[in-house]
Copies of this chain bind each other. A is one copy, B any other.
Amino acid sequence: MSLGSVTRVTILDVAAAANVSKATASKALNDTGRMSADTRARIRRVAQELGFRPNALARSLVSKRSFTVGLLTNDTYGRFTLPVMAGISEGLIDHGVSVFLCAIEDNPDLANLHVEAMLDKQVDGIIATGRRVDRPLPVDLSHLPIPVVYALMTGPADAVALVPDDRQGACDAVNYLIAKGRKRLVHVTGPGHFKVVVERLEAFRDVLETAAMSMSETQILTGAWSEQWGREAVEKLWSQDNPPDGIFCGNDQIARGVIDALREKNVRVPDDVSVVGFDNWEIVAEQTLPPLTTVDMNLKELGRQAGQALVRLVNGEVLEPGIVKLPCTLVVRGS
């Protein structure tokens, strides 16, 4: 066994060293079958000494379970997918399952290539995730012979999907502003055709209605997901009478723009105006002046649960199809 040709030790080596058949060795190592405790212990010890590690490929070939899953994503730069992926990986490794990363961009051909590679490699299931909750991946996953879970994204009606509870997160944010005694609330958010925008916006409206607070026409401003838009919104709001004393922003970048613009106007945050963001994008939220109070979507946990849902499906459990909404958390900082 030279360094050049490292020939791994197989179950046959273990069996030989322990003076049993490979069948018995297999049973001993898998804790199945019947045999004397002594034999079992001896075989295991020998396996240990030899550094035996079963070839997962061979095992999968017979068991029809590869303990691998495919993770499809079209988000190659974003900050949302990475925590989701980390959560998936963490939640799955304990079950011995490994995750294939498939970066498919928005390219249907690439997506198909990856899906076929996954199928060929006999993955036990697939998790689909992406940049936008309301934009499907460029590939149809609904007729696959294996279970599929959608994370941070919705699929067909009969599929299992996990998304953050945008509504609850937004409600918490607005209620926080109200609890702070803010009376003139405004929502500055992203493009109106994003589903998350609609959900957060409706939550904003509903909470205000419930609280019976006065509503002006301009209380909801939609625009881009950018600092620039946050700045512009402040210009607009402060060119009017009676500017707000509480601003709920659709994401942290907008909030950042809002806060920077306010500072330049010498409007004090949080003394004159309270600001709440969305995403808890820490690298931004923590460096904002003052540090940004914002909604965390708990994406890592979402990933973990997506992984767990998938293994349950793979194990034959039947899960109620539909969209599971996972709670968001308000992270209170200084704004």
Q: Which A residues lie at the B interface, using CB under 8 A?
A: 6, 8, 53-58, 60-61, 66-68, 71, 76-79, 81-83, 85-86, 89-90, 93, 96, 98-103, 110, 113-114, 116-122, 145, 226-228, 253, 257, 260, 263-264, 282-283, 287, 300
Contact = CB atoms under 8 A, between A and B. Distances in A.
A11 to B, nearest CB: 13
A287 B53 contact: no
Given A93-B117, A260-B260, 16 more contacts: A8-B145, A53-B116, A53-B119, A55-B122, A56-B120, A57-B57, A57-B121, A57-B122, A79-B79, A85-B101, A86-B103, A93-B114, A99-B100, A99-B101, A100-B100, A253-B287
Greatest chain B CB density within 10 A among A61, A82, A93, A145 is at: A82
A85 B58 contact: no
Contacts of A93: 102, 110, 113-114, 117
B76 A83 contact: yes
Given A79-B79, A99-B100, A56 B121 contact: yes
27 contacts: A56-B121, A57-B57, A57-B60, A57-B66, A57-B121, A67-B121, A76-B83, A76-B86, A77-B79, A77-B82, A77-B83, A79-B79, A81-B82, A86-B103, A89-B103, A93-B102, A98-B100, A98-B102, A98-B117, A98-B121, A99-B100, A101-B101, A226-B287, A227-B287, A253-B283, A263-B264, A264-B264
Contacts of A114: 93, 98
The 5 closest A-B pairs by CB, nearest first: A76-B86, A101-B101, A89-B103, A6-B145, A56-B120
A54 B81 CA distance: 31
A54 B120 contact: yes
A82 B76 contact: yes
A113 B120 CA distance: 25
Query: How many copies of this chain are found per oligomer?
Result: 2
Interface of A is mostly: helix
A306 B263 CA distance: 45
A314 to B, nearest CB: 14
A312 B110 CA distance: 23
Nearest to A118: B98
A55 B253 contact: no
